[in-house]
Copies of this chain bind each other. A is one copy, B any other.
């Protein structure tokens, strides 16, 4: 059966797996101090044009969000996010379990609006009860968002300006960063992100790795970050497993090449649905496409293809998600088209 459920249903990109095999019998350092992690860090710093950056590899996304957020905030601080942000919805309360409040703002197709953020921060600053409230101290945004949308360069610059004005750090969740940066609508790149974020991560799990996310602190990490990584259980003993994979992904631009495949297939998929007259829930320029299905079509399609049910609409239809990935083939899109 065709499967467009998500972008982490296959193994690793063959080149990544090959690199794991090639290096398998070597003896290396551990706990982040292995030569492959070192090499991968250098390649990522070069790709970001951020020579003072600190880079760390962590096995998964929720773990990364939880570790970064709880390591950067003071106890009296919280993290601002869109109501639809992954940390606010689908991480089982990992941020709160670590002791921190997610301060949710309304979302606009998954995005935070700079003016609304500024109004919120101004209100907080002027609130006579603010010492009894959680201090907004970090902005969490996803790129692409949970709805597949991406911020324009100007939107990101506006958010940064507001954060600077009110003293917030900026953390960008790049679980699907590759699919954002290779979208035809994208007007930014890694060096831009490194310039605008205090910390962000480059997602590997969804872009060709077996597992792994690369956390980048362009201006340097908090003191003793690795001890906090250990404390949150987020340090792999055999750290080479992540190092080797990111070394492969950042050799000869592999990461972007394979992400681009996900985007090319997504645009073909989008065109397929359009041609067949389907209605889109949102206009997504990345590898997640949200389609509105009536009951009958839903029933018909789910017998032949796997996709994810997202939410119900007021009029009884269902929003579903079709995701392409680095491993999606042109053939799969052709087959899908026949089924629509």
Q: Quick check: B96 and A233 within 8 Å, CB to CB?
A: no
Q: Quick check: B96 and A131 within 8 Å, CB to CB?
A: no
Cβ-closest chain B residue relative to A86: B132
Subset of 9 A-B contacts with CB under 8 Å: A59-B59, A59-B60, A78-B96, A93-B101, A96-B99, A96-B101, A128-B309, A135-B227, A205-B237
Q: Quick check: B20 and A210 within 8 Å, CB to CB?
A: yes
Provide the residues of chain B in CB contact with A25, threshold 8 Å.
10-11, 327
Total A residues in contact with B, Cβ cutoff 8 Å: 80
Contact of A89 among B10, B133, B232, B241 (CB under 8 A): B133
Which residues of A approach B to under 8 Å, CB–CB? 3, 5-6, 8-12, 14, 17, 20-21, 23-31, 59-67, 70-71, 74-76, 78, 89-94, 96-102, 104, 128-129, 131-135, 205-206, 210-211, 223-224, 226-228, 230-238, 240-241, 308-309, 327
Contact of A92 among B89, B97, B227, B240 (CB under 8 A): B227
Q: Quick check: A27 and B14 within 8 Å, CB to CB?
A: no
Task: Point out which of A76, A234, A327 has the most chain B C-beta atoms below 10 A from its C-beta.
Answer: A76
Q: Quick check: B237 and A60 within 8 Å, CB to CB?
A: yes
Q: Quick check: B59 and A236 within 8 Å, CB to CB?
A: yes
Give min CB distance, A145 to chain B, whole Å: 16
Provide the residues of chain B in CB contact with A210, threshold 8 Å.
20, 238, 241
Give min CB distance, A104 to chain B, whole Å: 8
Provide the residues of chain B in CB contact with A89, threshold 8 Å.
133
* Majority DSSP secondary structure for residues of A touching B: loop
With A205-B237, A237-B61 as given contacts, are A230 and B91 in contact (CB-CB < 8 Å)?
Answer: yes
Give min CB distance, A130 to chain B, whole Å: 8
Q: Quick check: A66 and B233 within 8 Å, CB to CB?
A: yes
Provide the residues of chain B in CB contact with A237, threshold 8 Å.
8, 60-61, 205-206, 211
Q: Quick check: B24 and A231 within 8 Å, CB to CB?
A: no
Contact of A75 among B59, B70, B90, B102 (CB under 8 A): B70
Q: Quick check: A63 and B27 within 8 Å, CB to CB?
A: no
Q: How far is the CA of A226 from the CA of B131 in the complex (A)?
A: 7
Q: Quick check: B133 and A233 within 8 Å, CB to CB?
A: no
Q: Quick check: B71 and A75 within 8 Å, CB to CB?
A: yes
